[in-house]
Amino acid sequence: MTDPASIDYATALQKATYDRLCALIPGGKRTVFQHVPEKTPPPVVIIGDLQSEARGGKGDVADRWTMVVFAVTMGTSRADNFALQTKVRAALGNWKPDATDDVFFGRFDWPATDTNPVLKDNIYYGTITLSSTTEPA
């Protein structure tokens, strides 16, 4: 059995999220990124910040994760950005990733979304804040 303290929960959660978004967001791997290649045009979905908070007791490894996913679009209004955010929420909301050999995941929920214009080239970016849990399998 793998020592629970040595498991890379962040990478497991990020990979599960990436695989899910690639499967369900139009454009798949051409649209969903962890690191966007230079000069990649919108629309793009970016798996961004990932933070954890310990939830287990002494000696337990159970974490609550907060993940920010960015939706970037180009257009004359926010409508395209809202539509892309809706696809991200539909793909991840209330979804529970399958367990890996080492990690059990909790269901995803999303406490917040936001859309902001970038004052250049009609680019809009939205943030979708999601949360989930991990613990050793």
13: domain CATH number is: 3.30.2000.30
Q: Total structural domains in the chain?
A: 1
Query: Where does residue 4 rank: exposed (0-12), middle (13-18), buried (19+ CB within 10 A)?
Result: middle
Whole domain around residue 108: which residue ranges? 4-136
pLDDT for the residue 58: 61
pLDDT for the residue 4: 80
pTM passes above 0.85: yes
**Mean pLDDT value across residues 21-33:** 96
Reported confidence tier of residue 57, pLDDT bands at 50, 70, 90 = low
Query: Where does residue 25 rank: exposed (0-12), middle (13-18), buried (19+ CB within 10 A)?
Result: buried
